[in-house]
Amino acid sequence: MGFNLTVNGDRLTSAADPATPLVDILREEMHLTGAKPVCREGFCGACLVLLDGEPTPSCLLPAALADGREIRTVEGLAPQGTLNCIQAALEDSDAVQCGMCFPGMVVSLTHLLTTRPDATRDDILMALTGNICRCTGYERIVEATLLALATA
Amino acid sequence: MMSGSPIQNIPVSSRDAPASIYVAPSLAAARDALSEYGPVGAPLAGGTWIMRSPIRHEPLRTHYVAIGRIAELTAVQIESDAIEIGAAVTHAALAAALDDLPEFAGLAAAAGGSANPAIRAMATIGGNLATSEFFAADCVPALLCLDAAVEISGRNDHERIGLADFLAVRSTLAPGRLVTRIILPRARRKTAHVRLPLRRAGDYPVAIVSLSVSVDAANRVQAARIAVGSVEPSARRWPRLEAALIGHPLDAAAAARRAAELADEFVGRDSVDAPAWYRVSVLPGLVRRAVIAALGS
């Protein structure tokens, strides 16, 4: 039995076991290594992807429930190699540190900018409660997001 | 010298993969499948607990029945005398559905403030109630304060029991049975839900206090339900504190004093994130915060 996934616009199939976490399929089968399996508990946010447009921890999503869904990973957030609004703001603000948490940060903040163009600083902090940065570089990330909101 | 075991990032190959995950299109189909699978099957809703089984060194079941796409389990029905919550309603959806209902402010806070946004969009109310090993569930104490009933369905029958009774038997439910709905009577009351995570948000709470009170025109407490979560393995009500508040003005400092006098009835649970004594010691402060929140609701 296989699963049909649409990943970054590409229609792909996987023969993984049904409980295989999506993050393992993305990384091991599709070689999309942006999503990181760090805590595997839904705490850290490093494995977030957009599932039908919603930030979702891919470590907790079994293959069977990803079947037929629209998945967008961090690799799919810069079409034609052009950084999206939050990616550009993060780079301009020198907010990128070790890179472990960043794919998840970008996924959460891409969703926030898409759905909440009026977001406040508190909204940004709430949106990032599921993204842990062990470099503790939150303030630059928040400032970059405010910049992206102001210039979007 | 290091102690304990390092956290292992478990590769796919070492997982005990189940034979199947059946995505049920209807409740009837889910009940049939669970009945046929018997003890080797289990429902799977949001998956936020089951998918972490390898982390807990627990084997997965052989068969799962995914219930998250069943329309009748993902609806919140709001009637004049009661609301009914499908077992597969997510925390995020529940918080949104209760947004305009002040009498359910405590439950809305529980559902809307647990875990983090992505988990709230996956984790379900039924999973929160049915997972007996998850001691820090936010919705359980909130629902205990609302006189909640739980509907449990099998292939050919269903029954409705009070939430406290359900909590006592949930780990021994017969194979093939699953939680299908939570029913809450409506009433005029003030409710609140406060929690103490180690960080401001995102962590499991060290302790939880949920509160539901009715007061008369002079602000005297006529009825009170107070529940404590995360302190002991299962959330439970605090009848002695409830009784102590009846007939007195609803006052945060006074309620906290009575809570301090009565807190020794709790036997906290030790864990890596907080010692037992600490969970108990924060209860008076949480009671004070809960009363303040209720007075403002």
Domain count of chain A? 2
SS3 of B136-167:
CCCHHHHHHCCCCEEEEECCCCEEEEEHHHHH
**Which amino acid belongs to residue A117?**
P
For residue B15, the model assigns a pLDDT of 53
Residue A115, domain extent: 80-151
Same domain, A67 and A110: no
Same domain, A145 and A89: yes
Mean pLDDT by 10 residues, chain A (152 residues): 92 95 97 96 96 98 97 94 94 91 96 97 95 90 96 84
Same domain, A107 and A70: no
Same domain, A88 and A108: yes
| pLDDT tens column, B86-131 | 999 999 999 999 999 999 999 999 999 999 999 999 999 999 999 9
Q: Are B97 and B78 in contact (CB under 8 A)?
A: yes
For residue B14, the model assigns a pLDDT of 43
Q: Which of A51, A76, A101 is the last residue of a domain?
A: A76
Q: Which of residues 260-289 of B touch A (CB under 8 A)?
A: none
Q: Cβ–Cβ contacts within 10 Å for residue B275, how many?
A: 14
CATH class of the structural domain B190-295: alpha beta
Beta bridge partners of A44: none
Q: Are B160 and B124 in contact (CB under 8 A)?
A: no
Contact B118 A67 (CB under 8 A): no
> Which residue, among B153, B151, B169, has the nearest Cα to B161 in the 3D structure?
B151
User: The CATH number of B17-66 is which of 3.40.1690.10, 1.10.3720.10, 3.40.50.12780, 3.30.43.10?
Assistant: 3.30.43.10
Element (H, E) at B20: strand B20-23
Q: CB contact, 8 Å: B198 with chain A? A: no
Same domain, A86 and A64: no
| pLDDT tens column, A65-76 | 999 999 999 999
Q: CB contact, 8 Å: A54 with chain B? A: yes
Q: CB contact, 8 Å: A62 with chain B? A: yes
Helices (H), chain B: 27-37, 91-97, 105-113, 117-120, 125-130, 139-144, 163-169, 239-245, 252-262, 276-281, 283-295
Domain ranges for chain B: 17-66, 72-185, 190-295
Q: CB contact, 8 Å: B117 with chain A? A: yes
**What are the residues whose beta carbons fall under 8 Å from the beta carbon of B94, sequence distance 6 or more?**
B76, B85, B107, B108, B111, B125, B139
For residue B18, the model assigns a pLDDT of 66
Same domain, A61 and A125: no
Sign of CA dihedral B195, B198, B200, B202: negative
Strand order, beta sheet including B205-215:
B190-197, B205-215, B221-229, B236-237
Of A18, A20, A108, Cβ closest to residue B20:
A18
Q: Which of A60, A76, A92 is the last residue of a domain?
A: A76
Question: CA-to-CA distance for A126 and A152, rounded, in angstroms?
Answer: 20
Q: CB contact, 8 Å: A59 with chain B? A: yes
Q: Could you tell me which chain B residue has the CA closest to the CA of A19? A: B17
Distances in Å between the Cα of B26 and the Cα atoms of A19, B30, B111, B196 are 21, 6, 25, 38
Q: CB contact, 8 Å: A44 with chain B? A: no
Mean pLDDT by 10 residues, chain B (297 residues): 40 58 97 96 97 93 96 97 98 97 97 96 97 96 98 95 98 94 97 92 90 96 98 98 98 98 97 95 98 92
Question: CA-to-CA distance for A96 and B58, rounded, in angstroms?
Answer: 37
Question: CA-to-CA distance for B198 and B1, rounded, in angstroms?
Answer: 26
Residue A63's CATH number: 3.10.20.30
Cβ neighbours of A42 in B, within 8 Å: 48, 52, 115-116, 118-119, 122
Chain B: closest CA distance from residue A67 (Å): 10
Question: CA-to-CA distance for A112 and B144, rounded, in angstroms?
Answer: 34
Contact A43 B202 (CB under 8 A): yes
Element (H, E) at B207: strand B205-215
| pLDDT tens column, B9-35 | 444 444 556 679 999 999 999 999 999
Same domain, A57 and A37: yes
Same domain, A53 and A14: yes
Distances in Å between the Cα of B68 and the Cα atoms of B22, B134, B234 are 11, 20, 25
**Pair type for strands A48-51 and A54-57:** antiparallel
Q: Which of A24, A43, A76 is the last residue of a domain?
A: A76
The CATH fold assigned to B72-185 is 3.30.465
Contact B52 A62 (CB under 8 A): no
For residue B17, the model assigns a pLDDT of 61
Of A24, A41, A64, Cβ closest to residue B55:
A41
**Rg of chain B in Å (alpha carbons):** 20
